[in-house]
Amino acid sequence: MSKKHNFSAGPCILPQEVLKQASKAVLNFNNDDLSLIEISHRSKPFVEVMDNAIALVKELLEVPTAYSVLFLQGGASLEFLMVPFNLLRKGGKSAYTNTGTWAKKAIAEAKSMGEVEILGDSSDKNYNYIPKGYKIPTDVDYFHCTSNNTIYGTQMKDFPHCPTLMVCDMSSDIFSRKIDVSKFDLIYAGAQKNMGPAGTTLVIVKDEILGKTGRNIPTMLDYNTHISKGSMFNTPPVFPIYVSMLTLQWLKELGGVEAIEKINQEKADLLYGEIDRNPLFEGAANKDDRSNMNVTFLLTDESKEEQFNKMWNNAGINGLKGHRSVGGYRASMYNALPLESVQVLVDVMKKLEVN
């Protein structure tokens, strides 16, 4: 059976070799005649998985020694709450950019904990651009931004100078491009874009920023709890962490983040080039802020919609329909999506033009 060209926004495509190895582990892990998902999370084989996954994160992102790496649960949505619990002082204030649905949800959770100042807001144009030119005040406890917006197809190409703690939700573009972790105090990312299946969340946190809020933090929401227990305060999501480890190993063997960044740029250049060339299509996001992970675009002639939908479906393309907030189409091109799949989509777009 041929594999479809999977442009789904998440859960998303994973490398075929990772899926094959993971499927074998579900039946028989480490040749122990036990499934990966039925062994103890405190057994030596899984402790090694956890250690390897953490080590790969540190290696691929060049994480400084003063940071802890955690694999938690609850997705980025739980991090929306954990961040203010751990960083917002009693009577303090935080600052956020509002660049899309997930940023808006993060802001709502922070507002339940204290005062929030919105520094950049692109809701006036349906989040089709990244706000710029704002100055982060020195009297806020932390500044929070979202690096890539899956629904609207925008991405921060540069990060602002931050005189306070810098927090970033990198759920949909982590490991896709080089970043300087030392410029951030806390990074979090759901696994289900570039790392693994849904079910675990990566957190990279600078140790010295914790424990200074003066508030009582529920045990499960305290980053220090999970640091002290090596991400095993409660039973960790064994399978998603294992698949994340395999995916990070795949990325390392490919040449690391620097290598995949070049491939991702090739994919983005190919698709955006066709969108800009072909009179039947137009991009939904501001050109300067276009995401390399999630390409949002529209048909200029709606009478072609039925024909185009039939053509890309017949070409074996999956997950191309745009989010209802934007409409049109969204091609999510995460690390594991091959350049060949993007070429198939571009070829379909070219055929539509001449039909």
Tokens 């424990």 — which residue? 211
Mean pLDDT, residues 258-274: 98
- pLDDT above 90 for 62: yes
Mean pLDDT, residues 321-344: 96
Q: Is 291 helix (H, G, I), strand (E, B) or coil?
A: coil
Asked if 127 and 326 count as a contact pair (C-beta separation under 8 A), the reply is: no
Q: Catalogue all structural domains in the chain, each as residue range(s) with its CATH number.
A: 16-254 (3.40.640.10), 256-354 (3.90.1150.10)
**pLDDT tens digits, 159-180:** 999 999 999 999 999 999 999 9
CA-based R_g, the chain, Å:
21
Tokens 């100055």 — which residue? 135
Query: Can you read off the two tokens belonging to residue 163?
Result: 């005189």
Asked if 38 and 350 count as a contact pair (C-beta separation under 8 A), the reply is: no
**pLDDT tens digits, 233-254:** 999 999 999 999 999 999 999 9
Judged by average pLDDT, the poorest of 40-49, 203-212, 228-237 is 40-49
Instruction: Report how far apart, in Å, the C-alpha atoms of 66 and of each of 181, 185, 186, 339, 352 are.
Output: 11, 10, 12, 37, 53
Q: Is 33 helix (H, G, I), strand (E, B) or coil?
A: coil
Asked if 188 and 76 count as a contact pair (C-beta separation under 8 A), the reply is: yes
Q: How far apart are CA 153 and CA 143, in angstroms?
A: 22
Which residues are the active-site residues? 102, 169, 193
Q: How far apart are CA 177 and CA 156, in angstroms?
A: 12
Mean pLDDT, residues 12-36: 94
Predicted TM-score of the model (pTM) = 0.97
Report the pLDDT value the prediction gives residue 1, as an integer from 0 to 100. 37
Report the pLDDT value the prediction gives residue 238, as an integer from 0 to 100. 96
Report the pLDDT value the prediction gives residue 87, as an integer from 0 to 100. 98
Report the pLDDT value the prediction gives residue 355, as an integer from 0 to 100. 84
C-alpha dihedral over 185, 191, 194, 196, to 10 degrees? 140
